[in-house]
Structure 1
């Protein structure tokens, strides 16, 4: 039984291998390819907004994850919990680690270098994903950050090992691998820039 594999060119957006064999579907319609590209593009924007919003909420205490009293529900927007007002974006999360990696993460809670590294990561990853540029670096950095957050969450309450951190990390790898920045973003234009041609790691 003979099989052939074809691949869409980069200019078509997400790469979609097509395997053909006797008795099986031999092609994917243009509409299906377009739908897949749009889905990956929307997924990229969605994940990017998750990172970007986390940065904004922790920076200004907008009353979602930051600036809201968990016991009373009272919201103190732009209050003391805001990073711009001296609040620490890592203290709440890392000081509560009680799993096998408690000794690794607890000393980082509230450390200035950890706060800055975390916030720069959230902003950089969020902006890159929203714009669709620098997807390789954004996906790698984002996946690494999410894996660290997953380790800090162990042991999990509702699953032996899988949670949203790992799911997001897998999605980030898929976004970079399928050139999702080309759809609803500036990925294609970015890939043709002189800077990226000189330093392909920035793709």
Structure 2
């Protein structure tokens, strides 16, 4: 015997799904923010994920010479291995210490903003710009580089996800300090701070 579903049951399910979507968008925003914040912490003190792990023994040497607090040039290795038509530009940037400061402040600012849900517009666009530069420094379309797809890699997907999620969440942020942040007079005057 077939079970009949009433309009009320369908409406209830749709309402539940409408509440669930924004929650998962917020969780994804926080996750992307944590990727940036973790990269900052790893490069700052050497937590052993991309910094300060011995290649042979796999042992982690916190605050090794590659950690930023120990004087390590954190952008030199990544930018030094650039490929594609802009490789020379990116390699020369890797030799300049100001790029370490810009990169680290960017990682920290983007990470905290996306996790807390404040300043998310500017954080999303800064994330997209940083990830875009990382993409063209290594995976120039058609050239390859450190990717399994000649045109699309995780940098592009994270960049589009960050911007897309933030702009959808402007209408309804489920998790974060965004609601309180938007009530501040300076944020009301300068909507780019949302």
Contact 2:74–2:100 (8 Å) recurs in 1? yes
Match of 1:179 in 2: 169
State how many pairs are aligned.
179
Structure 1 unpaired stretches of 5+: 1-24
Structure 2 unpaired stretches of 5+: 1-9
1:16-27 to structure 2, matched below 5 A, reads none
- Are 1:108 and 2:93 matched, yes or no? yes
Match of 1:193 in 2: 184
1:86-165 to structure 2, matched below 5 A, reads 86-154=71-139, 155-156=143-144, 157-165=147-155
Q: Deviations over 1:142-164 (max 9, x none)?
A: 00000000001123241121000
Spell out structure 1 runs of 4+ moving beyond 6 A: 25-28
Higher helix share goes to which structure?
Answer: 2
Q: Deviations over 1:89-147 (max 9, x none)?
A: 10110011132221110001141110000000000000000100111100000000000
- TM-score (ref. length: structure 1): 0.82
- TM-score (ref. length: structure 2): 0.86
How large is the RMSD of aligned CA atoms in angstroms?
Answer: 2.0
Instruction: Write the distance in 1 (CA, Å) between the matches of 2:49 and 2:95.
Output: 20
Contact 2:117–2:176 (8 Å) recurs in 1? yes
Deviation at 1:28, TM superposition (A): 8.1
Match of 1:69 in 2: 54
